[in-house]
Amino acid sequence: MGWGSNIFPLLIVTSSGGFTGLFVYSPSPGHGNLIYSVTGASGTDPYGNPFTATATMYGPTPAGGTGPSKVNTSTSPKLGINFASGSATEAQAGDVNASVLAAGGAAEQQLMFMGGPVNTVSADAVFIELQSSPHNAAGHAKGLAGYQDPSGGTVQNLMSWSVFDGVRRASSNPGGGGVGGISGGIPIYLSDTFSRTATTVAATDLTVSYNIPANDPLLYSQQNTSYRLHCWGNGSQGGAVHTGNFQVFLYGVLIYQSSALNFCGVGGTFTWDFDIVAQVTSTGVAGNVNTGGQFASIDAALTTPGTLPLVDIGNAVNTTVASVMKVSFIWSALGPSITCANSEFIRGGA
């Protein structure tokens, strides 16, 4: 049967007129109503609908747009997903959604897996895998980016993310065949270049307050969450030699205070560097952090270098509340000045 004006749920086109294939229209044959076609070559039907070779599903073409949206296979090994263009369509985000609609059993999970041939011995391959909870419980969904070596060995997860593990990556370990690298959390880096100066006997913030959300720390084998605050700058001594103290606050607690520091002689200037890490060892209302790091300073004449290890074991903190981490400074008397030029904050671990 050739092209005609009859209405059929299914219209089969013969080779007459140069068209061969299977065409489905809804609600009736006409322009903009082609919803499915299977053809050997691309072309345009008598109603002005462009069609694509192989099996193709079509969506509506928006007013003023160029389209339609379509999903099609190809003569090459691929699946194409194309969205209609035009302001009416492009004002909205394209959405590709795949999921399980019905509830399953106790071990239900949704899985999206994309990658190269499995267990190939000719070349290595990479994979992307998305899982819902394999335990039918909250907190177990995860995403994985994997690698498989040419021998077809076990897929190594080079990156993964979940609510319990955070975002983690592994070294590729090419010398070991591409598997078995070191696995660890991906750090989060923040910095601040606003200059702050302390000149008084009251605690004055030298750094910005770096925000930490409630319940942020995670405990994971050899990957407990840690917070590192590194700051540096310069200063000057007044008409007399005065000392000062660094203070580090986390979760509203003074987790470290240095001993009295003497930077330089009368009227001198100095540079300094302060670096401290707070390692979370337990979480909750009765959580704990251990601190370690180092302080160093030197005067302009290079005659008064000073270093100081920073160690403080066992600081009770409540990790269930929102907090900040910051460094403050207190002088023993008025006269001297210390300025923080830059600071950086790194959240490490899980």
Residues 99-132: pLDDT tens digits?
A: 554 455 555 555 666 666 555 556 677 778 777 7
pLDDT for the residue 142: 81
Q: Which of 328, 326, 340, 296 lies closest to 193, judged by CA? A: 340
Residue 98 falls inside a structural domain = no
Helix, strand, coil percentages for the chain (3-state, nearest 5): 5, 45, 50
Residues 36-54: pLDDT tens digits?
A: 888 888 888 888 888 888 8
- Return the residue matching tokens 């490490």: 348
63 and 202 within one domain: no
252 and 318 within one domain: yes
Q: How many helices (H) and strands (E) does the chain have?
A: 1, 26
CA dist 159 → 126, 142, 180 (Å): 11, 11, 13
197 and 178 within one domain: no
How many separate domains does the chain show? 3
209 and 180 within one domain: no
Residue where a domain stops, chosen among 184, 206, 227 = 184
- The average confidence (pLDDT) of the chain is 77
pLDDT at 228 over 60: yes
Q: Is the torsion defined by CA of 140, 143, 148, 152 positive or negative?
A: positive
Q: Which residues are bridge partners to 166 per DSSP?
A: 162
Task: Locate 261 and state its tokens.
Answer: 């520091």
Residues 267-278: pLDDT tens digits?
A: 889 999 999 999
Residue 287 falls inside a structural domain = yes
Cα 190 from Cα 231, distance rounded (Å)? 12
Q: Are 56 and 75 contacting, i.e. CB atoms less than 8 angstroms apart?
A: no
Residue 154 falls inside a structural domain = yes
How many other CB atoms are there within 10 angstroms of residue 29's CB atom?
Answer: 21
Residues 6+ apart with CB under 8 A from 311: 291, 292
pLDDT at 232 over 50: yes
Residue 102 falls inside a structural domain = no
What domain range includes position 53?
11-90
- Return the residue matching tokens 């070779």: 53
Q: Which residues are bridge partners to 157 per DSSP?
A: 146
146 and 57 within one domain: no
173 and 237 within one domain: no
CA dihedral 50, 52, 54, 58 (to 10 degrees): -70
129 and 158 within one domain: yes
88: alpha, beta or left? (left if phi > 0; alpha if psi -120 to 50): alpha
Residue 299 falls inside a structural domain = yes
Is residue 77 reached through a cis peptide bond, with omega within 30 degrees of 0 on the bond before it? no
Is residue 68 reached through a cis peptide bond, with omega within 30 degrees of 0 on the bond before it? yes
Residue 304 falls inside a structural domain = yes
Q: Which residues are bridge partners to 333 per DSSP?
A: none
pLDDT at 350 over 80: no
176: alpha, beta or left? (left if phi > 0; alpha if psi -120 to 50): alpha
54 and 146 within one domain: no
Residue 213 falls inside a structural domain = yes
Residue 106 falls inside a structural domain = no
pLDDT for the residue 307: 61
Cα 85 from Cα 151, distance rounded (Å)? 43
